[in-house]
Structure 1
Amino acid sequence: MFDLARHLLALGEEVQMFTGYPATRVDADLRAITRTRPWWTLLTYARGLLPPPVTDTWWAQQNLDDFGPWLARTLDPCSIDILDALAGTGLEAGRLLHRHGRPWVCGRASTHILTQKALLEEEHRRWGAAPPDFSRGIARCLAEYDECDAIIVPSHFVKRSFIAQGVPADKVSVCPYGVDLSIFSPQPKRDERFRVLFVGTHSLRKGIGDLFDAVRPLVGRGQCELWLVGNPAPDARRVLHRNADIFIEKGPQPRTSLAWYYSQGSILVLPSLEEGLAFVLPQAMACGLPVIASTNTGAEDLIEDGVEGFIVPIRDPAMIRSRIEWMIDNPRRRQEMGVAARQRVNGFRGWEAFARASREVYLKAMSPTAAR
């Protein structure tokens, strides 16, 4: 959101930003154009510090239930040409804009919520974990998909999930996310160890169990090392505990430090069950890492299988292991893939391209011929 606002401003657009983050978490150059509603965000964060661990979506849903009406009360529909609201936040404000004859866009970072629900419920059953609670969020998201003028998604994988759920294809526009090349670039690797890197929340959604099943024999034979960067999720607690002997936990890291961690890896592996377009993929590629990613990460919009890395099916630890072994056995080709990955993201034009693509969606939604 911050990168989009910044690049829209650079393109000469006027931007107002509304966020649930506290003002201290808003980038300094954007605070003058930002209104914040941080109370439920802060309460949710504070609750997460206390036992027992949060295992449901109640706190997140309370945040959305508060933020949406607040946004509708706060913005001035007469001063706004179009609203771009993250899924779950824009229903009330979008309806307000429609009453004033103005369009609104829903930005969805993940698959259609019914697709997401089916995938995650199946995955939680697979690992013996309690299913995630979608009961309060589905109606809001489905109403947004139906009532908004356009939907922006980050990958063709996500777009296909919307089409499969009956959303017209011409309502969904693919605008791939960017990467900040001023932050993410190769840094010296401190050793010659072959190191598998996983960056992100250690969750069942991210395929952490399949990653462990894939690398356990390799770690056991001393062929590789596994680093996890990010926070553990409550739903994967038992899986993480059972596999604590095969990974090195590096914890959450600020974005400005991630390039060093990427550069200590030999490859990034992301076997997620469901993503929109994982930020970690272009970040790792910008740091010169080839990637092994599942079909459900949006990787097809970033890499060509066998050129910048490999795309593997979901829930296939054997295939992941085979691709890692190939990377171990072919160091020269692996290095060539890393160079190709860096070159690929260099051609993306980063977040500027995302802002330009988003602006094209806005202009189409605002055109006199657009149906509302």
Structure 2
Amino acid sequence: MPPALPHRALYAAFDRFPSRKGSAVHIDRFARALFERSGGGLLYVLGGEDLPAYQHEGDVEVVRYMRPAAHVLERAAGFGTRLSALLDELPELEVAHFRDPWSGLPIVDHPGDFLRVYEVNGLPSIELAFLYPAIPRGLLDRIAEVELRCLQAADLVITPSQVTADRLPVDAVVVPNGADVRPPAPRPALDRPYLLYFGALQPWQGVDTALRAVARLELDLVICASVHARRAKPYRKLAEKLGIEDRVHWHFALPEEELARWRDHALLSLAPLRDCSRNAHQGCAPLKILESMAAGVPVVASDMPAVRELVTDGVHGRLVAPDRPGELARAIRVLLDYPEERARMGAAARARVQAELTWEASVTRLQSLYGERMPAWPTA
């Protein structure tokens, strides 16, 4: 089914949308920014259970790629083929904004005269090696070639991290991720203090490091995973092996209002990212860190360049050597002993987000970039 409206703007992402993952939060903010500027548009994303293949919300049309596949690369190929057909139905297209090479290749290869914006949050040539350790090196090299083709053909490349911008072989503009500063949510139904990890469960997130640190502490850990419970199986086994399964509380794909209860009242929020090429070389901009800071909750995170863009050690939280559960546990223990220090760090973190890292500021920056390259568009 072709698009029903003569769209001027396209936002394409090889991600399930909506979902509870941080990528979906980002897609929602940036796609809305584009469509507000263009007077509507087409959002092309992955579908899934309980999501319609087609959807209209005012002047925005959502098309979801629904076909499953045995492997992610097979699905990516089908996703791109469908996007090529959609582009043929958009003769009035003026801007195409994409998040990945699977969306990017049909966009940069299309002969239309429109602005091509590549939003680089991650590079599959790096990340797929962690998700699929047996993937052939030659295949990753071919994916890297597609990424480079998209980067070189794009009219504008943006990224949320300076580390990522410095790693790319083309000029890129940093448009940071953001968070909303809101009043605290009601307390959750847990009658004792707890640490919090929230987000996805990919290997590079370091959830195993958090569990090993908690095994050295007399404290509960709440894990609010943004994915299905089946993804937690290896971590639940690890918690049992460590003898802490009774102190680890699992929640899955919570709506924002429920997640906010756990986030806003945690003693500390953990972001124990692994020291790997995905985090250290590619870069990242974890929403879990920004959203915790916005809630006034100090973060204890891995000391890596991308994290230092958001957190100053001793000011907004503590940074510790990655992949070292003992050091993570010691940093947590010290902060637990000094509640006044935790309160000071939480207030400083919240103030920094309010001053520099809100979604409003990020969206304004993005829309100004559109305006610089599309001066005929209405002023934001």
Q: When the two structures are superposed, what TM-score results if normalisation uses the length of structure 2?
A: 0.75
Match of 2:7 in 1: none
Match of 1:255 in 2: 256
Structure 2 counterpart of 1:159, from 160, 165, 172: 165
Cα 1:142–1:177 change in 2 (3 A) is: same
1:256-335 aligned at under 5 Å gives the runs 256-273=257-274, 274=279, 276-296=284-304, 298-335=306-343
1:1-372 aligned at under 5 Å gives the runs 1-10=27-36, 12-22=37-47, 24=51, 30=57, 32-40=59-67, 43=68, 58-75=70-87, 76=89, 78-87=91-100, 88-96=102-110, 99-110=111-122, 112-116=123-127, 120=130, 131=133, 133=135, 135=139, 137-162=143-168, 167-168=169-170, 171-181=171-181, 185-188=184-187, 193-218=192-217, 222=218, 224-230=219-225, 231=227, 237-244=233-240, 245-246=243-244, 247-273=248-274, 274=279, 276-296=284-304, 298-348=306-356, 350-364=358-372
Structure 1 residue 21: deviation in Å?
A: 4.3
Cα 1:158–1:317 change in 2 (3 A) is: farther
Structure 1 residue 117: deviation in Å?
A: 5.6
Bigger proportion of residues as strand: 2
Question: C-alpha root-mean-square deviation of aligned residues, in Å?
Answer: 3.3
Cα 1:334–1:192 change in 2 (3 A) is: farther
Q: Distance in 1 between matches of 2:271 and 2:45?
A: 28
Summarize deviations over 1:280-317 as a string: whole Å, max 9, x none: 11222222211112245832232222111122332232
Match of 2:22 in 1: none
Structure 1 residue 232: deviation in Å?
A: 6.5
Q: Distance in 1 between matches of 2:266 and 2:254?
A: 15
Which SS does the other structure have where 1:89 is aligned?
Answer: helix
Q: Distance in 2 between matches of 1:173 and 1:189?
A: 39
Summarize deviations over 1:55-91 as a string: whole Å, max 9, x none: xxx5433332122222222135542222110113121
Q: Distance in 1 between matches of 2:305 and 2:356?
A: 18
Structure 1: gaps (5+ residues): 45-57, 122-129, 368-372
Q: Distance in 2 between matches of 1:30 and 1:302?
A: 34
**Are the counterparts in 2 of residues 102 and 366 from structure 1 also a CA contact under 8 Å?**
no
**Are the counterparts in 2 of residues 269 and 293 from structure 1 also a CA contact under 8 Å?**
yes
Cα 1:190–1:253 change in 2 (3 A) is: closer
Q: When the two structures are superposed, what TM-score results if normalisation uses the length of structure 1?
A: 0.76
Structure 2: gaps (5+ residues): 1-26, 376-380
- Equivalenced residues, count: 329
Cα 1:94–1:364 change in 2 (3 A) is: farther
Cα 1:101–1:6 change in 2 (3 A) is: closer
Cα 1:236–1:161 change in 2 (3 A) is: farther
**Are the counterparts in 2 of residues 307 and 337 from structure 1 also a CA contact under 8 Å?**
yes
Which SS does the other structure have where 2:205 is aligned?
Answer: coil
Q: Distance in 1 between matches of 2:144 and 2:77?
A: 13
Cα 1:65–1:191 change in 2 (3 A) is: closer
Structure 1 residue 344: deviation in Å?
A: 1.7
**Are the counterparts in 2 of residues 7 and 351 from structure 1 also a CA contact under 8 Å?**
no
Match of 1:124 in 2: none
Q: Distance in 2 between matches of 1:287 and 1:236?
A: 26
**Are the counterparts in 2 of residues 17 and 35 from structure 1 also a CA contact under 8 Å?**
yes
**Are the counterparts in 2 of residues 210 and 316 from structure 1 also a CA contact under 8 Å?**
yes
